[in-house]
Amino acid sequence: MNDKSITLQEEIADLRNRQQYGMDELLAVMRILRSEHGCPWDREQTHASIRSDFLEECYEAIEAIDCDDPAMMREELGDVLLQVVFHCQIETEQQRFCFEDICDELCRKLIVRHPHVFGEITVSDSSEVLRNWDAIKRETKQQTTYAETLESVCKALPALMYAQKLGKRASRAGMDWSSAEEAFSCVRLETEELAEAMASGDAAKIEDELGDLLFSCVNTARHLGIDAETALRAASEKFLRRFAATEALVTADGKHMPDCTLEVLDTYWAKAKSGQNGA
């Protein structure tokens, strides 16, 4: 056993026996897990291999927030932090950047984008804060056209969120409907165009028109002050509740759902909907 392994064992023992852990200890744990004497699985991972894990952990943290469950939030936010530290350790090993570099860049960005706190700028309300934030962001990212601000929207976002952010940024250039009613009129138009495409049987045209319809729905939601992603998720969960209630009613009558006609299932669906008071 060489001096390096003795030092590592001492560090491991120290970490194992601590009563309280902080950021430094978390970074040390991840470094050890990725080391020669660490975990085989952790050593094998790359940015690409744990990409989906990062996404999943973010969604689980959002679920914890939605549940307003402090214990669940503490755990899930920790899992998100683990992903950040994991990716940082991979970069540290490649000597491209480290966790401290991320902290440094983040602090500098927050200070620059809050001149009303760290500078001499005065703001009247949060809307002015957001306008300043956007202006500073465009300047620091050297975005000289509105198109560049749209192109900078993260393309990995869920499609509804991506569409809603595009619409919001386009509105800053004046390209937008003046009201929710005008936006909804586009939904009607796109519905008609989708019907025409379906009648034509052209699969590519059908997909194109369906996309236009969804995009119009998203923009209508934006004008109504509704988050499209949240609205669709709520509708999906409502469908799940009604489906479960419908299946329970069918089963209670000694029937099997796949053996029932759609008309029969619709009757049970109406009963389930009535029983849930439209929820």
Q: Please state the domain extents for the chain.
A: 3-110, 231-275
| pLDDT value, residue 278 | 52
| pLDDT value, residue 279 | 57
Q: What is the pLDDT of residues 137-196, one digit of tens each?
A: 888 989 889 899 999 999 988 999 999 999 999 998 999 999 999 999 999 999 999 999
Nearest to 137 by CA among 152, 158, 121, 155: 152
Residues above pLDDT 70, as percent of the chain = 97
211: exposed, middle or buried (Cβ count in 10 Å: 0-12, 13-18, 19+): middle
- Mean pLDDT within 194-211: 97
Instruction: Give the fold, CATH level 3, of 3-110.
Output: Helix Hairpins (1.10.287)
| pLDDT value, residue 138 | 86
Place of tokens 């469908």: 239
Would you say the pTM of this structure is higher than 0.75?
no
| pLDDT value, residue 277 | 60
| pLDDT value, residue 3 | 47
> At residue 61, does pLDDT exceed 60?
yes
> At residue 2, does pLDDT exceed 50?
no
CA distances from 14 to 6, 29, 37, 100 (A): 12, 11, 16, 23
- Cβ pair 206, 198 in contact under 8 A: yes
Report the SS3 class of residue 67: helix
CA distances from 225 to 56, 160, 164, 168, 181 (A): 27, 14, 11, 11, 13
How far is it, in rounded angstroms, from Cα 107 to Cα 112?
9
Q: What is the pLDDT of residues 85-104, one digit of tens each?
A: 999 999 999 999 999 999 99
| pLDDT value, residue 37 | 87
How far is it, in rounded angstroms, from Cα 66 to Cα 227?
14
* Identity of residue 29: V
* Per-residue confidence band for 4, with pLDDT thresholds at 50, 70 and 90: low
In the predicted model, what is the mean pLDDT of the chain?
92
| pLDDT value, residue 10 | 86
Q: What is the pLDDT of residues 245-274, one digit of tens each?
A: 999 999 999 999 999 999 999 999 999 998
- Mean pLDDT within 11-39: 93
Query: Which tokens in the block code for residue 206?
Result: 């059908």
How far is it, in rounded angstroms, from Cα 138 to Cα 134?
6
